[in-house]
Amino acid sequence: MKILIYVPSVPPRVKYAFRLLFRSCLKVGYQLTTDEEAYRSAVGARAAYSPAPLDEEGLWLPAGPLLWEDGLRPQAPDVFRHQGLPAFFRQEAPGAAFPFDLPALVFFLASRYEEYLPFAADSMGRFPAARSLAYQEGFLEQPLANQWALRLAGMLKQRFPELPIGYPEYRFMPTYDVDLAWAYLHRPFWLNLAGTLRDLATLRWGLVLERWACLLGKRPDPFDTFAYLRQLHRAEGLSALYFFLLGDYGRYDKNIPASNPALRKLVAWVADTRHVGLHPSYRSNFDEAQLPREVRRLKKITGENVLRSRQHFLMLRFPETYRRLAAQGIQEDYSMGYADAAGFRASMATPFPWYDLETEQLQPLTIYPFAAMDVTLQKYMALEPKQALGRLQQLCRLCRETGGLFITLWHNSSFAERHGWNGWREMYEEAVAYARTSGEGEVMK
């Protein structure tokens, strides 16, 4: 059984908004119609998304102008609270299910409308979290689109008990960016020499001893945590995803060369039992030939098509970044999150398709939003391990409540105590143990 939804017309934005609500946030069969008579005569669950209601039996979602507009224009949504949740695009009217345009709200957040508009970029050229509506209005750490979709589901279930409504199941996916597979091993001698001189000049004797103990084979490299992570995932019954940086050495891309036999062996070893993806270099954002080159490198190592990616430094610009990825056959991207704040950049905790606002077209690329990154918690938010654990647990609980996919972004190097991560290994293990279970919270119905 499907719900019949009346809309005055079906432009791409309307189609996308309802796909987000009923396929990404919920699992509900639906059909859009522009036929008023067919809608009024229909038997069963129905809703109207229109400026005015069509009947008293159907659920009425009041519609504003956004989803029927062409092009982009500056937006200054007036955020208010309704039923304990933030809302905007106010459309108050007697008989309305909500006093705001719900499909437009979800569309605005998931399409990243505000990131297509001019903004003051950070030093890396990125859209800062502080510029977002979610950060400014205090709901960045809420999967607001999913939360409102569940409220909609509750209304539909109450009015149409026979309507089958499915909910996504909560899952946890640990992911890792491999910017530098080893701190010392398999790196050019001149780099180790330069590092030694730098550590001596800054009186970091412990790092000097660590470096040469590793190079002489007397202790493991502190960034070589891959066997440890595999054991952790097996113990917790988890499947992980790794993104390898295979760019050319430069100011922001200091990875070990993709031609290095040890690195190629490591990538193949990880890919043998786990999914791997590409970590497109910072340079690939400005050199058109670079991304295809890196895609070919990973494909040659694994023997598989490259389908997944996450941007180095989370360098994500709309629509250029996703257009480049889609052109290379990338089907899944995991860059949707901020470097400078934890939370839900698109206000979504579930995967969703990318919509190109400039072309007004749905694209063959699925976005997998992550909730928190190690460097964000430690560096940008200046949290101690115990505080970071509490923040991760809260984000995880919200994913559980909405049936979201809780994705964390960690680095293989973020377990090295001498490199600024004292106490974070233990915290991470506790966070993984917490996130792997469904917990007491269930999807709100």
Please give the backbone phi and psi of residue 194, each rounded to the nearest 5 degrees, phi first: -65, -40
How many CA atoms within 13 Å lie on the side-chain side of 82?
20
In this prediction, residue 444 carries a pLDDT of 37
Please give the backbone phi and psi of residue 70, each rounded to the nearest 5 degrees, phi first: -110, 140
In this prediction, residue 440 carries a pLDDT of 53
In this prediction, residue 441 carries a pLDDT of 41
- CB count, 10 Å around CB of 34? 11
Domain 171-183+221-436 has CATH 3.30.43.10: no
Q: Provide the token pair at 404.
A: 């979201």
- Cβ contacts of 389-394, under 8 Å, gap ≥ 24: 389/427, 389/430, 389/431, 391/342, 392/431, 392/434, 392/435, 393/431, 393/434, 394/141
In this prediction, residue 41 carries a pLDDT of 93
In this prediction, residue 418 carries a pLDDT of 87
Q: Provide the token pair at 158.
A: 């109450």
In this prediction, residue 61 carries a pLDDT of 98
Let me know how long the chain is. 445
In this prediction, residue 54 carries a pLDDT of 94
Residues of the chain with pLDDT under 50: 441-445
Question: Radius of gyration of the chain from Cα atoms?
Answer: 24
In this prediction, residue 250 carries a pLDDT of 93
User: 244-267 burial, b if ≥16 CB within 10 A, otherwise e?
Assistant: bbbbeeeeebebbebeeeebbebb
pTM for the full predicted model = 0.95
Q: Where are the domains of the chain?
A: 3-112+138-159, 171-183+221-436
